[in-house]
Chains A and B, each alone.
Chain A
Amino acid sequence: MASIGSIATAPLRASREGDKNAKSIVFLGVLWFTVLFSVLSLAVLLVTSFLDGSTRLDANLFTRYSSIVLPELAGARAAILGSALVIVLTAVMAIPLGVAAAVYLEEFADSRRWYNKLIEVNLTNLAAVPAIVYGMLTAGVALSIGLPRRVVLTGAIALALLILPVIIITTREAMRAVPQEIRQGSLALGATPLQTVWRQTLPAAVPGIATGSILALSRALGEAAPLLLLGGLVFVSYDPNGLFSGYTVLPIQIYNWAKEPQLAFQQVASAAIILMLALLLLMNAVAIVIRNRYQKRW
C-alpha cells in the first residue's frame, strides 16, 4: 500500500529544463522579433498614411477627379469607379471559368492521362508567375487580335488571367473537402455525374469557392503592375463607362500621386491608400466570415 501511495505522489515537478535553456530562449526571441517586425511595419504604414492622409479623407476623395492644377482638391473618383468596374469584370470572367476548370479537373479528368498531369503541373506553376508577366501576355495577345490595350476589358482580362490559377486551385480544394460518400450516395441513386456536381458537390463547395474567389479578387484589386504595363491611364477625368473605355484604378492612381513633388498629392495618395487598405480588409473579413459561418463540417 505504501509503495502505491508513493507512486501516486511521485513528483510531477519538471526534472528537465524544458524550453528554458539559452538556445530555446534565443530562438523564441527571434520568432517574436519576426512577428513584431511585420506587425510594426504594417503599423507604421497605417499610422503614417493616416497622419498624412486623414485631412483628405473626405467627400472630395470620392466625388472629384484628379487634377494637375488643383492638387488640394484632387479626388479618386475615376480610380474608384475604374477599380470597381475592372474588378467586377474580372470576377465575371475568372470565377465561372475557374470553377468550370476546377470541376473538370476534380470530377471528370482522368488524372492518369498525361495531358491532365501536364495541366496539373502548369497550374501550380502559373499561380506563382509574377503579375507583370500576365500584363505582358495580355498586351501581346491584345496586339495580335486587335484589342485596344488601354481599356477596361483588356485590363480585366489580364487580372482574370492572373487570378485564374488561384481560383482553380482553391475551388479544387473546396471540392476535395466534400466527402466521397456524398458523391457515391448521389450516383447510387441514379444521378448522373453532372447532376451530382450540380446538386451536391458544387453547392457544398460554395463557401470555399467564395472565400477563395474573394481573396483572389482582393489580390487583383491591389495589383498595379500588369495594368501599368497595359498602359492604364494616369490622369482620367471622366467616369469609365464601358468595356472599351479608358480607365485608371486605385493602385495606379496612388502610384502617380505619390511620385508628384507637391505635398497635396502626397496627402491625397495617403488618403487613397487608407481607402484601399480598408477595402482589402473588408474583403478579407468577408472571406473569413464566409469560411467560418458556412463551412460544412462533416
Chain B
Amino acid sequence: MNSHYYSTRTHDVAEAGNETAANELASLVEVRQDDRRSLPSDPKPIMECEGVDVFYDDFRAVTDVSLGFGYNEITALIGPSGCGKSTLLRSLNRMNDLILGARVEGAVTFHGQSIYAKDVDPIEVRRRIGMVFQKPNPFPKSIYDNVAYGPRVTGAKVSDMDDLVEEALTRSALWDEVKDKLKQSALGLSGGQQQRLCIARTIAIRPEVILMDEPCSALDPIATSRIEDLMVELVKDYSIIIVTHNMQQAARVADRTAFFTALADEGTGDRTGLLVEYDLTAKIFSTPADERTENYISGRFG
C-alpha cells in the first residue's frame, strides 16, 4: 500500500530501516485521515504569517516564514531543534513580547488583522490565542482555582463558575479523575493530568486558537496518547497549532504539517530557521516535495 510512494521517487531510500519507519508514518497518517473530513488543499486561514522574521536582538532566529493556519485544523510545526519552532509559535500570540530584545518583522494576522498593529492590546491577543507549554505549569493553587484563573483575571462575565470549571475539565478529559478533589492542589496531579489541567485552564477563557509547544515531551506514552486524543476532540471547536519533535505525533494528529530547518545565514554565519515545506500531513509524510523534508522524516537528519 505504501510502497508505491517510494518506488516512484527519484531519491532512493536506501536503508530498509528508514523505509520501514517512513512506511509506518505514512500508515499513521492514513489512519488519522480516515476519520477526518476531506481537507481543501489550501487552508482557510484563521491566522496567517506573511514574510515573518523573528529576531533576538541582532540574531535572526526565523527568516521569511509565510503560511496560513486553517480554521478547525491541527497544524504541526516540525523540524530539528533550534530551527525556531518555539520562536515562531511565541510570535503568534505575542508571548515573545516578554523576552527582552525579541522582535517580529513581517505580518502576523488573526482574522486578517495584524496582531502587531499599534492599537492592538497584547493581552487581548493572548485571550483569543491561548497557549499550552512544554512543561506542565499549573499554578500552586487548587485545581478549581487553576481553571477559574483565566475567567477571573479577564473579568469574563461568568454566570456560574462551577459550571464553567466542570465544562472545561470535562472537555479536557479530566473531570472524572478530579471531580472529587477540585479543592486540592494542582501540584498533586500527575504530569499528564497537570498538562490536561493546563489545557482545561486555556479552554476556560474560550480562545479561538490554541498554541501548544511540545505539550507531550515531558509525558509518558499513555499520557501522550490521551493528550493526542484530546487534541483530535478539541479541533472540532478550536484551531490548534502544535510544535512537536515527535513525527509520529504529527502524523497521528495533524491535518497539515510545516517542516522547518535551520540554515547558516550567508552573511553572518548564524543559523536561522526557515520554512522548507508546508502541506497536508498526508502529503508531507508520503510524497514530500523537498529532499530535506524527506531526509528528516525518514530519520536521516536531525
Contacts and interface: CB of A to CB of B under 8 A. Distances in A.
Contact of A195 (B124, B153, B205): B153
A187 B133 contact: no
Interface stretch (A40-48, A57-65, A177-185, A210-218): A177-185
Contacts of A199: 149, 153
A218 to B, nearest CB: 28
Contact of B93 (A186, A188, A195, A200): A188
Interface in A124-139: none
A189 interface: yes
Would you call the interface of chain A mostly helix, strand, loop, or mixed? helix
A186 B126 contact: no
Interface in B129-145: 130-131, 133, 135, 137-140
Given A110-B100, A200-B139, A186 B149 contact: yes
B100 A189 contact: no
B133 A184 contact: yes
B281 to A, nearest CB: 26
A184 B150 contact: no
Given A192-B153, A200-B139, A296-B140, A187 B202 contact: no
Contact of A187 (B95, B138, B201, B205): B95
Contact of B95 (A179, A182, A188, A296): A188
On chain B, which size bracket covers the interface? 20 to 34
A204 interface: yes
Given A181-B133, A184-B133, A184-B137, A189 B98 contact: no
B140 A204 contact: yes
A105 to B, nearest CB: 14
B123 interface: yes
B137 A190 contact: no
B95 A181 contact: no
Given A195-B153, A199-B153, A204-B140, A188 B100 contact: no
Contacts of B124: 190
B251 to A, nearest CB: 27
B198 interface: yes
B32 interface: no
B2 interface: no
B292 interface: no
A190 B124 CA distance: 7
A277 interface: no
B113 interface: no
A192 B98 CA distance: 12
A259 interface: no
B126 A181 contact: no
Residue from B100, B124, B130, B149 with most neighbouring chain A CB atoms (10 Å): B149
B135 A181 contact: yes
Contact of A182 (B98, B100, B137): B137
B140 A190 contact: no
Would you call the interface of chain B mostly helix, strand, loop, or mixed? helix
Interface residues of A, number: 21
Nearest to A111: B100
B150 A190 contact: yes
B171 interface: no
Given A189-B202, A189-B205, A191-B153, A181 B127 contact: no
A200 B149 CA distance: 10
A297 to B, nearest CB: 9
Contact of A186 (B100, B127, B139): B139
Interface in B103-161: 123-124, 126-127, 130-131, 133, 135, 137-140, 149-150, 153-154
Given A181-B135, A181-B137, A204-B140, A190 B98 contact: no
A189 B130 contact: yes
A112 interface: yes
Contacts of A112: 100
A192 B150 contact: no
B130 A186 contact: no
A200 B153 CA distance: 11
Contacts of B127: 189-190
A187 B126 contact: yes
Contacts of A186: 139, 149, 153
A184 B205 contact: no
A185 B198 contact: yes
A250 B95 CA distance: 53
Contacts of A195: 153
Contacts of A183: 98
A148 to B, nearest CB: 47
Contacts of B198: 185
A175 to B, nearest CB: 14
16 contacts: A182-B139, A184-B95, A184-B133, A185-B138, A185-B198, A186-B139, A186-B153, A188-B93, A189-B130, A189-B149, A189-B153, A190-B123, A190-B126, A190-B153, A190-B154, A192-B123
Interface of A: 110-112, 179, 181-192, 195, 199-200, 204, 296
Given A195-B153, A296-B140, 11 more contacts: A181-B137, A182-B139, A185-B133, A186-B149, A187-B126, A189-B202, A190-B123, A190-B124, A191-B149, A191-B153, A192-B153
Interface of B: 93, 95, 98, 100, 123-124, 126-127, 130-131, 133, 135, 137-140, 149-150, 153-154, 198, 201-202, 205
10 smallest CB-CB distances across A and B, nearest first, come from A190-B127, A181-B137, A189-B150, A191-B153, A188-B131, A185-B137, A190-B154, A195-B153, A190-B126, A192-B123
